[in-house]
Amino acid sequence: MTAVTRNPMIRLENVHKQFGALEVLKGVSATVNQGEMVCLIGSSGSGKTTLLRCLNLLEVPTSGSIWIGGLEITAPGVSMTDVRRETGMVFQHFNLFPHMSVLRNLMLAPMKVRGIGYEEAEATALSLLAKVGLSDKANSYPRQLSGGQQQRVAIARAMAMKPEVLLFDEATSALDPEMTGEVLKVMRQLSDDGMTMMVVTHEMAFAREAAHRVMFLAEGQVVEYDTPEVVFGNPNHPKTRQFLQNVLKI
């Protein structure tokens, strides 16, 4: 595991999110440092995905503040487009454009959103496909790829925008074990390269082995936030211990 720069990249202060009368996030405060991979774990309905979606304003917090880099993204007048340019997101489902080749899927957003020229966008896309082990699939279409290959393309597409932060929402939950391994390997490589990442996952072994820190959420609150050694080996809170007993069958 690579060393982490101790400069905050993500900062959350007392973040709340309500959907009508339902309060999903109840005052979340946390910091993620530059180059750090943080895995978010917890039961379904604990607020993990909602928290992740607040980080690129797919959900707008009801109250509280969020900073990405030096920008308070929850401040009045901040452009959602500017926020999403710096926060790449990889979803459970791949969301690739089926009528475009793999290469064109990677080139589209950098050209349209960042205004990058064709040759630079193509060179970047080819480099990223090599990074995720798919150089030979540049001219293929999504339907010609396995699920694991499509998810690796989705990761490369998010990276093509050169974001400050990458967010993963259960990126492997739709994949079989072999394909899951392919994707997790790429995520480890990104972490080794110093990408700041927040990862919602049910892959406890991955969180334990690859994360710099693990955040356990329960009922919309951060119950435990520490190194994998502490969270998995000696958790402080009874809710964390109960959750791990249930999912790890220990």
Would you state the pLDDT for residue 89?
92
- CB of 154 within 8 A of CB of 90? yes
Would you state the pLDDT for residue 250?
53
| Sheet hosting strand 63-68, strand order edge to edge | 22-33, 8-19, 63-68, 71-72
pTM equals 0.91
Q: Return the exposure string of 121-141: e unless at least 16 CB atoms fall within 10 Å of the residue's CB, then b.
A: bbebbbebbebbebeebbeeb
| Sheet hosting strand 213-218, strand order edge to edge | 87-90, 165-169, 196-200, 37-41, 213-218, 221-226
CA distance 156 to 124: 10
Would you state the pLDDT for residue 3?
65
Quick: pLDDT tens for 113-144: 889 999 999 999 999 999 999 999 999 999 99
Quick: pLDDT tens for 179-216: 888 888 999 999 999 999 999 999 999 999 999 999 99
Quick: pLDDT tens for 57-81: 999 999 999 999 989 999 999 998 8
Average pLDDT along the chain = 93
Would you state the pLDDT for residue 93?
82
In the three-class reduction of DSSP (H, G, I as helix; E, B as strand; rest coil), residue 12 is classed as: strand
Would you state the pLDDT for residue 228?
96
Helices vs strands, H then E, count in the chain: 9, 10
Mean pLDDT value across residues 30-56: 96
